[in-house]
Amino acid sequence: MKPIQVGLLGIGTVGSGTYQVLLRNQNEIQRRAGRGIVISMVADLDVARARSLVGPDTQVVGDAREVINNPDIDIVVELIGGYGIARTLVLEAIAAGKHVVTANKALLAVHGSEIFEAASQKSVVVGFEAAVAGGIPIIKALREGLTANRIEWVAGIINGTTNFILSEMRSKGLDFSVVLKEAQRLGYAEADPTFDIEGVDAAHKATLMSAIAFGVPVQFDKAHVEGITNLQAVDIRYAEQLGYRIKLLGITRRRDDLRTDSNPFGGIELRVHPTLIPSSRLIANVEGAMNAVVVQGDAVGTTLYYGKGAGSEPTASAVVADLVDIARVATADPDHRVPHLAFQPGAMQDTRILPIDEVVTAFYLRLVVADKAGVLARITGILAENDISIDAVLQRESADGEKQTDLIILTHDTVEGRMKAALAQMQALPTVLAPIVRIRKEELN
C-alpha cells in the first residue's frame, strides 16, 4: 500500500523529534499502521537549517502553503504554535481536504470549536494528542480508553515549568523569583515565562480535557486562571507541616448538585490555580518537570497518567501516534471515526461553565495577626457567620516581627463566594496586619 505522505509545518524542537522518531521506528510504525508514514515535505522559514535536519528525499520549502497545496500530501502537521498564522494554515489545510495533526493547545483551546466544525464538514481528522501533557496519552485515555465511564472529575499537573519551580521551592526553601531564574538558566522556563507561570498554558490544556470529559464545546474564555507568581516559600513550608504539598492544578469537575428542571445538566468547574493536595496522594509526589493527570470515572474509579509533559521526543511520540491513528482510519466512513471531542457532534451539551464564585472547594488561609487575646475567636466567628467550617488551626511565631503571629487555618468545603465575603470582613479587622493568603485545597479522593 502506498505510504501516507506527511507535510510538516515547522521543524523546531517537536518537529525535529517527530522526524527522528518516524525515521528510527519506521518498521514498527508500519507494522502498527498497516502502511508506511513518510515526512516528504517540510516548511520552515529557516530553510537552510531545516535542510540540515532532514534527508535528501524530503523536500524543504519556506512557504507553508506549498505544503498545503501539494496534492500528494495526505496529512499536515502544524507545529508552528500560537493563535495567528497557525489558525489560518490549519483551516486552509482542512479546506484542502487534508487531515491535520497539531500540538498547538493554545490554538485549539481558543479556536477549537471552529476548527473541529470545519474538519467535520470536510470529513477529515484533527489529531491533537500532543497538545496536552506531551507524551502522556491522556486525550486517547479520555476519548477512548474511558469511554464506558461517566467522568466525574479530572485534575492534572499539566505544566512542567511550574511544577519544577514548585518542587524546587519546596525542597530548597527558596522564594519564587530565585527559582524562576534558575529554571530559566536550566532551560525549563522561557525567557518570557508568562504563559507558564500565570497558568495560561495549563488552562489551555484543562479546557481541552474538560471538553472531552464532559462533551461540551471548548470554552477557554470561561476558565478561571491563577498562576504561581504570588506563592511564598513560607506557605509551602506550612503546607508541608500540615501534611500537604502545593501544586498548580488544572481541575474540571461535573457538578450534578446544580441540576434543576430548567438546568438539567448542572454545571462544570473549569479552573487552574495553586492547590494544596495531601502529601499521601500520588500526584502530590510528582516532582520536577514531570506531568500527571488523575481522572475519576464512575466505573473505573481513580486512574493516574504520569510522564514527560514536554520535550522533543516525548511530544513527538504523541504526534506520531496521531499519524498512525489517521493512517488506520483515513479510508474509514467518517461517521464511524472517533469524534474529536469524544461525543458525537450532535450530542454535545451546552452545560454551563461555573463562575469561580460558585465553585466549591476547601481553603488554606494564612493571616498575620496581632498577638492579642480574642483575635482567634473573632476570626473563627467571622468564618462561622459565613457558614464556613474549620478543619484545622495552626499558630506560629511570625517571621515578620514581634507581637504578631502567623495564623494558619484549613477549612472544609465551602462555596467560593462565601469565602470571598469572609475574607473581606477579616481583612478589615485592625488586628489583621497583612494581606491574607488564600490557597484552595483539594483532597482528590
Using a 10 angstrom Cβ sphere, with 0-12 exposed, 13-18 middle and 19 or more buried, the burial of residue 25 is middle
Contacting residues for 418 by C-beta, under 8 A, at least 6 apart: 386, 387, 388
Whether the CB-CB separation of 69 and 98 falls below 8 Å is answered with no
The sign one gets for the Cα dihedral 293, 298, 299, 302 is positive
Q: Among 205, 247, 308, 441, which one carries the catalytic annotation? A: 205
205 is catalytic: yes
| Cα 411 to Cα 365: distance, rounded to the nearest angstrom | 8
CA angle 44, 48, 50 (to 5 degrees): 45
| Cα 384 to Cα 48: distance, rounded to the nearest angstrom | 68
Using a 10 angstrom Cβ sphere, with 0-12 exposed, 13-18 middle and 19 or more buried, the burial of residue 344 is exposed
Q: Beta 290-297 vs 301-308: how paired, if at all?
A: antiparallel
Whether the CB-CB separation of 439 and 246 falls below 8 Å is answered with yes
Contacting residues for 92 by C-beta, under 8 A, at least 6 apart: 65, 68
Cα dist. 212→148, 215, 275, 405, 412 in Å? 13, 5, 23, 46, 30
| Cα 78 to Cα 67: distance, rounded to the nearest angstrom | 11
| Cα 336 to Cα 251: distance, rounded to the nearest angstrom | 31
| Cα 152 to Cα 324: distance, rounded to the nearest angstrom | 30
CA angle 3, 9, 335 (to 5 degrees): 55
CA dihedral 263, 255, 226, 126 (to 10 degrees): -80
CA dihedral 232, 238, 243, 246 (to 10 degrees): -10
- 264 DSSP 8-state letter: T
| Cα 435 to Cα 276: distance, rounded to the nearest angstrom | 19
Q: Give the position of cell 527559582.
A: 179
| Residues catalogued as catalytic | 205
